[in-house]
Amino acid sequence: MKSQKGGWHGGCIWVIRSDKHSGKSRAHWKESKMAKVDSIGWSHRKAVNAVIGGGCIAPTVILNITRCCTERCAHCAVSAIYGATVEKCADQAIRETEAGRELKLEQWLSSLDRLLDEAPATKFDLSGGDCLALPWVRHELIPWLVEHTSPSQVAVTATAATLRIWLAELARMVNYPRPGSVHITLDGCSEYSRDNLSIARDIRRLGMGIHAECPVTTNNVARDTIIRIYGDASDAGISEITLIRFFPVGRGALASGMLEPSPDEYRKAIRIWQELGRGCGPKIKFQCALKCFAQPDIQGACKIGPAAWCAMPNGTMLSCPWAYAQQGQPLHQDFVIGNITQSSVAELLANSVTSHMKTQVGTVDSCATIAYARLARINQEHAA
Ligand code: SF4
Ligand code: SF4
């Protein structure tokens, strides 16, 4: 967890399981992990020490299982590979796996098993692409993950096309392990956003919570649009809406001229959302990169660090889930913190603190990913 002042605190949920299982003392564990980061420097070691010294954190790891998707949104950060149907999308994903660009089920299972051994309270958000298009995600990965953690540690983000298939399967399997919550996109303008709303009640009927994420673009910053989205979410029984900033990364880099709101548009839209959120309908939350518009005096809203990581489809671990270049590659090496198939939690932790330090230096925008994306664009234009 990151404090407002920029210091790091152990969140006291992460229990180092190696204490119990291998007989190593916590002091020994800490000593060996600190030796690995010895070469990085005192201020870095101090930051890592603060986290390890707390003895516990519970990172949230977004698992971008595949880049294949049944949608082709203009703002897509991962530049998803389009499959017109769920089956075509699943076939695409098989080709990506065969080409070695995406991990297989066995690789995910062994990586997650190792990660959970070190950090059993880790929370996961399975995403993509459209991860539910892959039958092994619905039938094997999700049940395995819920059984090895708890429902409240697992969330799934997907599109209506694949959610419908999965919900129908779950309805037939009464005791099947299911995650605590489902995240849907609700931007008030795309077709699948309306579709997502139509299945909100089915999700709740199956005992899962539902959260909506609303990417803020020039298409939905007008007052009447915001009021409509809020009303629709309220009617569908959604308890929380997280507003997401537009990222000029991935495919979004090409659409930023059309879709990216100006700072003034962001501020006006956020004021309307804040007014609505004071009522008794859904609560409104602001994603880290939007907080500078919601609370102008806020310091240190960036979540790069030990609290939140993202696994790319090939296992590369990023310190920010939006740090993608145009073809699904990392935006910059400064955001790469390891690979889920090889890196220990301690290495990911140490590298995420390094990533925080590297990416915040000289970053004028409040969001490091957006600052790096803009710089990459300027460099490209210079090179052309
Ligand atoms: S933004 Fe999400 S739903 Fe849209 S194409 Fe990308 S991965 Fe698919
Ligand atoms: S770089 Fe931007 S999006 Fe990423 S964690 Fe920091 S503020 Fe959030």
- Quote the pLDDT of residue 102: 98
Enter the tokens of residue 303: 């979540």
Give the number of the atom of ligand 1 that is nearest the alpha carbon of residue 215.
1
- C-alpha 302 to ligand 2 mean position (Å): 5
- Quote the pLDDT of residue 80: 97
- C-alpha 69 to ligand 1 mean position (Å): 6
- C-alpha 91 to ligand 2 mean position (Å): 33
Give CA–CA dist 74/18, Å, rounded: 44
Query: To which H or E segment does residue 228 belong?
Result: helix 223-235
Per residue in 219-254, pLDDT (tens digit) is 999 999 999 999 999 999 999 999 999 999 999 999
Residues of the chain with pLDDT under 70: 1-57, 362-365
Enter the tokens of residue 333: 């090496």
- C-alpha 54 to ligand 1 mean position (Å): 37
Give CA–CA dist 260/220, Å, rounded: 11
Ligand nearest to the CA of 89: 1
**Pocket of ligand 1, candidates 137, 159, 187, 196: which has the most ligand atoms within 8 Å of its Cβ, to mutate?**
159
- C-alpha 82 to ligand 1 mean position (Å): 9
Question: Whose C-alpha lies nearest to ligand 2, atom 2?
Answer: 367
**Pocket of ligand 2, candidates 60, 303, 310: which has the most ligand atoms within 8 Å of its Cβ, to mutate?**
303
Per residue in 121-161, pLDDT (tens digit) is 999 999 999 999 999 999 999 999 999 999 999 999 999 99
**Pocket of ligand 1, candidates 70, 86, 130, 246: which has the most ligand atoms within 8 Å of its Cβ, to mutate?**
130
- Quote the pLDDT of residue 21: 36
- Quote the pLDDT of residue 364: 61
Q: What residue ranges do the domains of the chain occupy?
A: 54-383
- C-alpha 303 to ligand 2 mean position (Å): 6
- Quote the pLDDT of residue 246: 96
- C-alpha 338 to ligand 1 mean position (Å): 24
Cα–Cα distance list, 285 to 50, 75, 104, 109, 276 (Å): 28, 20, 34, 32, 12
Cβ–ligand 1 distance for 76 under 6 Å, the answer yes
The CATH number of 54-383 is 3.20.20.70
Enter the tokens of residue 256: 């930023």
Give the number of the atom of ligand 2 that is nearest the alpha carbon of residue 370.
2
- C-alpha 125 to ligand 1 mean position (Å): 15
Give CA–CA dist 321/61, Å, rounded: 9
- C-alpha 370 to ligand 2 mean position (Å): 8
Residues with CB under 6 A from ligand 2: 288-289, 302-304, 320, 322, 367-369
Give the number of the atom of ligand 2 that is nearest the alpha carbon of residue 369.
1
Per residue in 208-217, pLDDT (tens digit) is 999 999 999 9
Give CA–CA dist 115/39, Å, rounded: 24
Give CA–CA dist 277/258, Å, rounded: 28
Give CA–CA dist 26/205, Å, rounded: 43
Give CA–CA dist 369/335, Å, rounded: 9
Enter the tokens of residue 93: 């994903």
What pTM, to 2 d.p., does this model score?
0.85
Enter the tokens of residue 142: 């999700």
